[in-house]
Amino acid sequence: MNYISSLPQGNDKTFFVQQMFNEVAEKYDLLNSVISLGLDTYWRKRTLEMLMIPSNYKKPVLDLACGTGDFMEALIKINATAVGIDLSMGMLRNGKKRQNDLIQGKGEMLPLKDNSVGAVVSGFAVRNFTDLKAVLEEAFRVLMPGGRMALLDVAQPNSKLLKLANGIWFNHAVPFIGGLLSNKNAYAYLPKSVGYLPGESEFKELAKAIGFHHALRREISGGLVQVFLASKHSEDDTQKSSHD
């Protein structure tokens, strides 16, 4: 089901998302682990593997909509340099104890220089961006030539049994648990926000129109989550194409 017609749009969405994450920030990490049944750490690990960041990677990696910095921690464990940007000051404050390289900002208007990061990663934020096209344009702008992007988010499993179980958990259990331990409205929004997610072909067309190549989508855990992947042409690729 597509819920997008009943969800906030434009500036209303930006304000709603910012306020929502400010309110749930204190217990966000705990609930993220609970509602993912502890799989969120594995999903982040697999996403970084798809991003193909080697150990001791020296170029900065942007954790876009970083929240409290879970992806940043994973990057630090492989000795990569990480910088995090998030709309919610509440989320950033709850992450300060773990990482100092945190900036408040919008994905649609990144406070970073052109060609300044080697990779962009994001966890469960695609559906929370107000303008996905603008976010992808900004990611493309700040990526160095040859840089890669990986955006992790929820998905709809293909298996009928897994889809049924996930629907019961995600649409009913998660809002109940979230309301019990944190903010009822925020966790009622969570399953509905799937309506914001682009389809595979939509993402590919959008990414390629912006200038990305190798745009694709990969599933993890039977389709419980998905990763949108894309690359920016390297300088060598650009030179080759100019000579063709």
* CATH assignment of the domain containing 215: 3.40.50.150
Give the count of domains, the chain. Answer: 1
**Angle at which helices 10-35 and 40-51 cross, to 10°:** 110
C-alpha angle with apex 163: 157 to 167, nearest 5 degrees?
A: 120
Burial label, 25 (beta-carbon count in 10 A; 0-12, 13-18, 19+): buried
Helix (H) or strand (E) holding 150: strand 143-154
Of the ranges 21-30, 66-75, 178-187, 212-221, which is most confident? 212-221
pLDDT (mean) for 104-118: 96
For residue 94, what are the domain limits?
Answer: 4-243
Paired strand residues for 61: 82, 119
Q: In terms of pLDDT, which residue wins out, 13 or 186?
A: 13
Residue 241: helix, strand or coil by DSSP?
A: helix
Instruction: State the pTM of this model.
Output: 0.91
Chain-centroid distance of CA 202 in Å reads: 17
Helix (H) or strand (E) holding 209: helix 200-210
Distance CA(179)–CA(187), nearest Å, equals: 7
Q: Say if residues 150 and 136 touch (Cβ distance below 8 Å).
A: no
Strands laid side by side in the 213-220 sheet: 102-104, 82-86, 61-64, 117-123, 143-154, 225-231, 213-220
Q: How many CB atoms lie within 10 A of CB 161?
A: 9
pLDDT confidence of residue 3: 47
Amino acid at 182: S
Distance CA(169)–CA(185), nearest Å, equals: 17
pLDDT confidence of residue 182: 86
Considering only CA atoms, which of 1, 4, 13, 6 is closest in space to residue 134?
A: 13
pLDDT confidence of residue 100: 62
- pLDDT tens digits along 134-164: 999 999 999 999 999 999 999 999 899 999 9
CA Rg, the chain, in Å?
A: 17
- pLDDT tens digits along 199-234: 999 999 999 999 999 999 999 999 999 999 999 998
pLDDT confidence of residue 97: 57
The answer, yes or no, to whether residue 120 has pLDDT greater than 90, is: yes
